[in-house]
Amino acid sequence: MADKGKALERSSSSEIDAFLKKTRELAPTGKGGGRLLFALDATASRESVWDRAMQIQSEMFLAASKVGNLSIKLAYYRGFMECYALPWTPDAADLLGKMTGIHCAAGATQIERILNLALKEHAIRPIDALVFVGDCMEENPDRLADLAGQLGLVGVPMFIFQDRHDAIAEKTFRHMATLSKGAWCRFDANSAAELRDLLCGVAVYAAGGRKALEAFSHNRGDALKRLSHQVRN
């Protein structure tokens, strides 16, 4: 697990720019509305920042719900082999209630199970993106890379938001994002406003496409404006 005592590091402008550059590859299917799989690491190493993370993620869901036409499936893992996936729902209020009721529990990461879930769900009905928020990686990186590559081949980009600074996890997460044709960015309290807008932007775009993102980005931060500009072009 990542060291709880290590200070959070601010997302650099280059990291934000790299994330924005990749988000233009996100292309909603347009078949019956957007579908977003949102996965969380709820192991004990994230407990100290859990409340702040919940606030940012909750704002993402609320922003997406205002656009409509987006279904979200919430998945999370924690403890000893606990991995849960809630039903798809367009009801942000219902989803928020369930998400804020999640508590952290000590255990190893189960990212492979999340990636397999994404592939399974996409085979049943196409999903537009997978958002993953986590801080560490304790699995076979080659296996995770293979699954991320499979997601890229079927058109499911991973948008990975990393808590803290775990060098091993960062290397693997960046590689997974590249293979899935998605993006990686740091997720921390120092850049909460930008990351909240980026999370919201991904969700809004999955729900309503380019026009919805352009409307959402009006009068908001520079990071989201750059996202809207790159998607538009």
CATH number of the domain residue 131 falls in:
3.40.50.410
Answer whether 12's CB lies under 8 Å from 80's CB: no
Q: Please compute the mean of the pLDDT values over residues 1-13 and round it to a whole number.
A: 39
pLDDT tens profile 172-185 = 999 998 899 887 87
pTM of the model: 0.77
Q: Is 19 contained in some domain?
A: no
Q: Are strands 129-134 and 183-187 parallel, antiparallel or unpaired?
A: unpaired
- Domain around 192: 29-232
Mean pLDDT of the chain: 77
Q: Establish if 23 belongs to a structural domain.
A: no
Residue 160 placed within a domain: yes
Nearest CA-CA partner of 187 in 148, 214, 153, 160: 160
pLDDT tens for each residue of 148-196: 999 999 988 888 888 888 899 999 999 998 899 887 877 766 655 666 6
Position 224, amino acid = L
Does residue 54 fall inside a structural domain? yes
Contact 162, 183 (CB under 8 A): no
| Residue 4 counted as domain residue | no
- Has residue 20 been placed in a domain? no
SS3 assignment, position 126: coil
Highest mean pLDDT among 25-29, 45-49, 84-88, 129-133: 84-88
- What kind and span of H or E run contains 57? helix 50-67
Per the structure, how many domains does the chain have? 1
Would residue 21 count as lying in a domain? no
User: Per the domain annotation, does 5 fall within a domain?
Assistant: no
